[in-house]
Structure 1
Amino acid sequence: MSVAVTSADGTHIPLLEAELLRRVGSGDSLLELACLDALFPTGKLLRPVLCMESAESVGGTADQVLAFAAGIECLHVASLVHDDIIDQDPVRRGRASTIEQYGLAEALVAGDGLSMAGLAALLSCGPAEPVLHAARVTVDALRHMCQGLMRETEIRGDLTCGVPTVLDVMRAKTAALTGAACQAGAILAGAPPRQHQALRRYGEQLGMAFQIRDDLLPYTAEDRITGKTAISDVANLQPTLPVLLAYEAADETDRDRLTALFHGGTDPVTAHRDILAVLTRTGALAKAARMASTCAEQARAELTGLPRSTRLAELATSAADRQY
């Protein structure tokens, strides 16, 4: 299998793509083919880029953390493969998901294979003491991610779970690993605790901004732009942040409509259209967007005093403002 290594966003992208190829293989087996198909074309590579930028922000180099950063991406993509199995999503990044293309058993094994490749990459990077510290931080975040994914399945169809519950799911599912990627990069670069802990907090707030915007995209962007089916959360009766904000602010008529839609049985396209109308009437879309911006501001505040943090500040802004 041939995968082009090109730069979409500066010098880190081709380095990361080449390292991912080195870690996963060239496609000589079905396992390698499925893993490469899940990895390429790459997504935003947010977490590995954050790992490398965090290392540089405290005086380290991207090369110091390249293998570790690639390992984080393998682990992240493994979680996406399994997430698509849970949600039965046929589309990922604008093309057929791994389960859609290869089947259930093959997708499960591909996710496991990516996880093992990721762990091997984490443990291959540099002196033992900082590597083990960074690996512990990352594995702990992955445990939180699993807890968040499980909690997400528990609240399906439940519009009474409340905004605090879905924010907790976001912190576990997305923010924990984003924060760990930043902290790990700084640890591997030899940063003192004050700096690597600040970068963890930065990454957690950026992760919240990113996930809030992700929840908004099905209602604010064309399906062809988001790269996933806009009706996926609706079809799975998943109460996301804008929906819960709308439920809190809705009058009795709109609240009853949301309740009926989340009991299932409505065509997902129709349900998506009706939910969008309620979100617009209640101002939930604007409120969620403001929450994303607040998280981005809090992320940028954590960068005070870091030697080279301009790029990290830009990434926080783009996470809150992104349209795809």
Structure 2
Amino acid sequence: MTTLPDTAQQDRTARAALERARTLLDPALRAWVHRLPGPVARVASYHFGWTDGAGRPASGTAGKALRPALVIGCAEAVGGTAQAALPPAVAVELVHNFSLLHDDILDGDATRRHRPTAWKVFGASAALLAGDALLIHAGRVLSDQPGHPLSVTGVRWLSEATTQLIEGEQSDLAFEERAHVTLAECLAMSERKTAALLSCACALGALWGGGAPEQVDALRRFGTHLGLAFQIADDLLGIWGAPEVTGKPAGADLAARKKSLPVAAALDSGTAAGRRLAERYAGPRAGQAAGGPDERLSGGPAAQAAEVAELTALVEEAGGRAWAERAAGEQLDLALACLEAARPARSAAAELAALARLAARRDH
């Protein structure tokens, strides 16, 4: 039998962990969603891929379940069980999907997971309320465990992480209105918007698994560095990713003038390409007159595609892509060092390391 390359073996390990987490998670997740009021549950069920826009059963994807897999993996890493860690796994997944429902509205994204976003199908108000309901349910999942000694701590940690996520999202939106944003500011925003919830997922898993305080702390730091690697890799996909991988149009972040991390690095580069990128970001978008978004120019999709191609080339020429690829690797190395410091059980450590490598690569 031919031995698989290390990367292929790690991918198989990571995908098996994700599949196991999804299998464990889905029954409980569905049960909590079905406790919502009918119209709200309908929107949430569509968002998770369980139904179509008319409420009929569907086979859409509910996402990769990375955060629940991290909860479960960290619980097992410190000697706990997957079943015991199911409540925080469900809670973290509910918070994550609250953020996705809101994020799609805020960004005006028309597609997610290869089909129309919930707000495009049901309207922004219905999708907004569904997101709110998922967030409230996340707290209930942890608090509806009478006498559980970790409930109060878990709700507090999840609330703190959600507050950071919201702060990061607000900063991300504010950056779109600013002519210049430093790379340091973008990294701080990413740590709040993305890394905070992954860090919380790892800490909750370790807590529910019965880990010692130093293990919980090490796994929390593992999640923080993994979250930054994940976001950097996701930003790379937002520019160079294929639509069949991302589920979104190519170059959507550039078209929206997002100050993603590769863009911030390019703008901070001090290069001629970086200065040209800053000029293009400050000017009107393709198909949009300087007077405002309602004054359209001719050109349509072809002009927008040409603009995205130009911006993509400028980011790469200014070094944004090279910086991001290097930084993602550095954050992954830091994450793996923190994982080792937690003294994890061997099999769980292998799964967590494989998940980290897959998430930081994001070419799948």
How does the TM-score come out when normalised to structure 1?
Answer: 0.92
- Residues 75-108 of structure 1 show CA distances to partners (whole Å, capped at 9, x for unaligned) of 1101110111111111111111111111011111
1:181 to 201, 210, 215: 201
Q: What is the correspondence of 1:25-104 to structure 2 with a 5 Å cutoff?
A: 25=34, 29-40=38-49, 41-104=61-124
Does the aligned pair in 2 maintain the 1:223–1:229 contact within 8 Å? yes
Does the residue aligned with 1:200 lie in a helix, a strand or coil? helix
Does the residue aligned with 1:64 lie in a helix, a strand or coil? coil
Cα displacement (A) at 1:157: 4.3
Does the aligned pair in 2 maintain the 1:134–1:183 contact within 8 Å? no
- Residues 221-277 of structure 1 show CA distances to partners (whole Å, capped at 9, x for unaligned) of 211211123333223321111111112225335513432234333244333211111
Does the aligned pair in 2 maintain the 1:78–1:114 contact within 8 Å? yes
Distance of 2:325 and 2:114 partners within structure 1: 24
Change (3 A) 1:233 1:157: farther
Does the residue aligned with 2:83 lie in a helix, a strand or coil? helix
Distance of 2:314 and 2:265 partners within structure 1: 10
Change (3 A) 1:253 1:299: closer
Does the aligned pair in 2 maintain the 1:182–1:199 contact within 8 Å? yes
Does the residue aligned with 1:111 lie in a helix, a strand or coil? helix
Does the aligned pair in 1 maintain the 2:226–2:332 contact within 8 Å? yes
1:11 to 15, 20, 30: 20
Distance of 2:145 and 2:337 partners within structure 1: 30
Does the residue aligned with 2:84 lie in a helix, a strand or coil? helix
Distance of 2:191 and 2:35 partners within structure 1: 35
Cα displacement (A) at 1:24: 0.7
Higher mean Cα deviation, 47-56 or 279-288? 279-288
Greater Cα radius of gyration, structure 1 or 2: 2
The equivalent residue for 1:277 is: 313
Higher mean Cα deviation, 295-304 or 257-266? 257-266
Cα displacement (A) at 1:186: 0.9
Q: How many percent identity over aligned positions?
A: 31
Distance of 1:126 and 1:175 partners within structure 2: 30
The equivalent residue for 1:261 is: 281
Does 1:211 find its partner at 2:231? yes
Does 1:229 find its partner at 2:249? yes
Cα displacement (A) at 1:28: 8.2
Q: What is the correspondence of 1:287-298 to structure 2 with a 5 Å cutoff?
A: 287-298=323-334
- Residues 35-71 of structure 1 show CA distances to partners (whole Å, capped at 9, x for unaligned) of 1111232111111110111100000001001122112
How does the TM-score come out when normalised to structure 2?
Answer: 0.82
The equivalent residue for 2:258 is: 238
Distance of 2:204 and 2:274 partners within structure 1: 45
Which amino acid is the alignment partner of residue 320 of structure 1?
A
Distance of 1:12 and 1:252 partners within structure 2: 47
Does the residue aligned with 2:283 lie in a helix, a strand or coil? coil
- Residues 110-144 of structure 1 show CA distances to partners (whole Å, capped at 9, x for unaligned) of 11121122221122357532122122111101111
Change (3 A) 1:159 1:213: farther
Q: Structure 2 unaligned segments of length 5 or more: list them.
A: 1-15, 50-60, 288-303
Higher mean Cα deviation, 118-127 or 201-210? 118-127
Which amino acid is the alignment partner of residue 345 of structure 2?
P
Does 1:322 find its partner at 2:362? yes
Cα displacement (A) at 1:212: 0.4
